[in-house]
Structure 1
């Protein structure tokens, strides 16, 4: 499989109460097929957020949006369009970044978090100057980041997002 030029096809999730913005790099093939963030069943994002917020693991897109907004979390991706091979973050090139100001000007975002090193790197390269804000790099919820178990992710993400030492 070679490079394919792909555009982001779904909107950010946020409202006027969102206090944190979590950025991924670009939707995986599975997420693009599903039409929503973190659609690969092995990605731990939704299990992690459910654990951190003491909620049930959301199944539908509406349940996922409800979980995010209830806990004042906004999500989006750094990249609006790019050339990519499959779902490989390491293959991303010819980046056009998302216009993050859409969220930042409409919500009282106190902190931006990057879900993984590639999202952080892309944010730093393409968005930080425009937003004037640094992003905190969190360990990726991707199944490719196997060194971080769900328990380790819970500890690091919980401390950063919610000040929890914990958790379960």
Structure 2
């Protein structure tokens, strides 16, 4: 089984929103960037919500997230997994990212959005709720992954728009 290592977060200390995935998929790991699969809706959704061109280079898209006060990370720091599916993660191989440190160094966080149910389940199971700052709200949103095909991209966008608008008001 292959040992996978996740990326550092896209974040500034000014971040107010943290979007958490579970673990990068094979396309993202190969490209060494978040949400690199061409059919993942993350970047088109963010581009629509924040008003930028989704074809901008990766660094520019990350800059746009940072400017909007949005951080991106994954629940898992490392794990063993074949392929890209969350269901293939070997549960006894899970190592979680250091959220205690992250919350300390990002004191303006108000909201955590889970990019799908797997991210939420992994976070709730493996991250000590006692380290959560009291001001943080947690909300699961539909996964932007192409594996989550039960919702059309337009419906995913609408869910994400409603959540982001509620926080940014």
TM-score (norm 1): 0.89
Per-residue CA distance 1:57-91 (angstroms, 9 max, x = gap)? 14422112111111110000000111111111101
Counterpart in the other structure of 1:102: 101
Counterpart in the other structure of 2:138: 135
- 1:118 matched to 2:118? The reply is yes
Q: 5+ unaligned residues in a row in structure 2: which ranges?
A: none
Say whether the 8 Å CA contact 2:110–2:137 is kept in structure 1.
no
More helix by share: 2
Say whether the 8 Å CA contact 2:42–2:144 is kept in structure 1.
yes
Q: 5+ unaligned residues in a row in structure 1: which ranges?
A: none
- 1:86 matched to 2:83? The reply is yes
1:129 and 1:26 map into 2 onto residues whose CA distance is 20
- 1:70 matched to 2:46? The reply is no
Post-superposition shift, 1:143?
0.7
Post-superposition shift, 1:134?
5.8
RMSD of aligned Cα (Å):
1.6
Say whether the 8 Å CA contact 1:58–1:67 is kept in structure 2.
no
Runs of 4+ in structure 1 displaced over 3 angstroms?
none
